[in-house]
Amino acid sequence: MKRFLLEKKWGAMSLVALYVSILSGVVLALQYDEAHPFYSATSLDLLIPFGIFWRSLHFYSSQIFFLLSVVHLVVILYGPADRLSLQKWIWLIAGMPVSLLLLFTGYVLRGDATGESAGLIAENICLSIPVIGSMLNSLLFAITEEGMKRVYANHIIGLGVLWVIFAWDHLRRYRVIVADHGWFVLGIFVFSLIFNAPMEPMKMGVFHIAGPWFFLGLQELLRYLQPLLAGVLVPLVFVISLAFLQANHDWGRKARLFAGCWLILYGGITLVALSR
């Protein structure tokens, strides 16, 4: 098992999934209209030939990209890989929250009950940050004022470019040949043909909406704590701990211990949210 984990090329597979995600995203963008997000997303599902397939392919390949990059990160941390300097590591790891934001903005752009609510919550969390909150919201979301315009711009250009800037130095060191992962790509295609990407229309009399899986714990925390604490500070300490995961000596060990405990607690809170 340990050998399998260490020898499998998780990073390369993650990148191949990202290629599939980008290509399917380009196809979707030809039909998606950010002025009418929900209408547009449901048109893809119900009207446009193969629309649901392309949407599912984009959805699942993006999820697989994120999950495999997490596996890649964990395996690298526990494997014999060369350590990066702290500066280079921080630069590279900054790509993780950016990829999570890419995933999140994708959820929001669906414009369904989950997407719209998640977007509005994110906007209000941003606004709860003192001094820079309003500016940050203007850069990332501004859904109340601008609809999905800025979320869309960030999803298709801004965040993608930012991710490439952070990951570029890492990516250019390795050569990934897509043909070597033919079965994996075929697997993503077949999976997307069988399983439709989720869509939750607004319904009267719905009194519980669950957010994206990776923010369920955050949704639960927001029930008890102030938005600034639950939505900003709690995730921020985790992101800061990521920066020191690979540091030498005591710092690295403490950061890994902290990040591990944080994830276990977050997983527990997520389970509470799922039980509602």
Q: Which is nearer to other proteins, 74 or 139 (CB)?
A: 139
Determine, following the binding rule CB under 8 A, whether residue 151 of this chain makes contact with other proteins: no
Determine, following the binding rule CB under 8 A, whether residue 113 of this chain makes contact with other proteins: yes
Using CB under 8 A, pick the residue from 1, 30, 82, 207 that binds other proteins.
207
For 152-201, the DSSP string reads HHIIIIIHHHHHHHHHHHHHTT----GGGGHHHHHHHHHHHHHSPPP---
Using CB under 8 A, pick the residue from 33, 145, 169, 180 that binds other proteins.
145
Determine, following the binding rule CB under 8 A, whether residue 35 of this chain makes contact with other proteins: no
Cα of 78 vs its chain's centroid, Å:
23
- Collect all residues with Cβ–Cβ distance below 8 Å to 132 and sequence separation of at least 6: none
Q: Which is nearer to other proteins, 4 or 224 (CB)?
A: 224
Least distance from other proteins to the Cβ atom of residue 38, Å: 11
Determine, following the binding rule CB under 8 A, whether residue 130 of this chain makes contact with other proteins: no
- Collect all residues with Cβ–Cβ distance below 8 Å to 238 and sequence separation of at least 6: 259, 262, 263, 266
Q: Which is nearer to other proteins, 28 or 118 (CB)?
A: 118
Determine, following the binding rule CB under 8 A, whether residue 206 of this chain makes contact with other proteins: yes
Least distance from other proteins to the Cβ atom of residue 253, Å: 33
Task: Quote the CA–CA distance of 233 and 133 in Å, as a whole number.
Answer: 13
Using CB under 8 A, pick the residue from 26, 78, 81, 144 that binds other proteins.
144
Count of residues engaged in binding other proteins, rule: CB under 8 A: 27
Burial of 58 (0-12, 13-18, 19+ CB in 10 A): buried
Instruction: Give the binding site for other proteins (CB under 8 A).
Output: 113, 116-117, 120-121, 123-125, 134-135, 138-139, 144-145, 202, 204-209, 211, 219, 222-224, 227
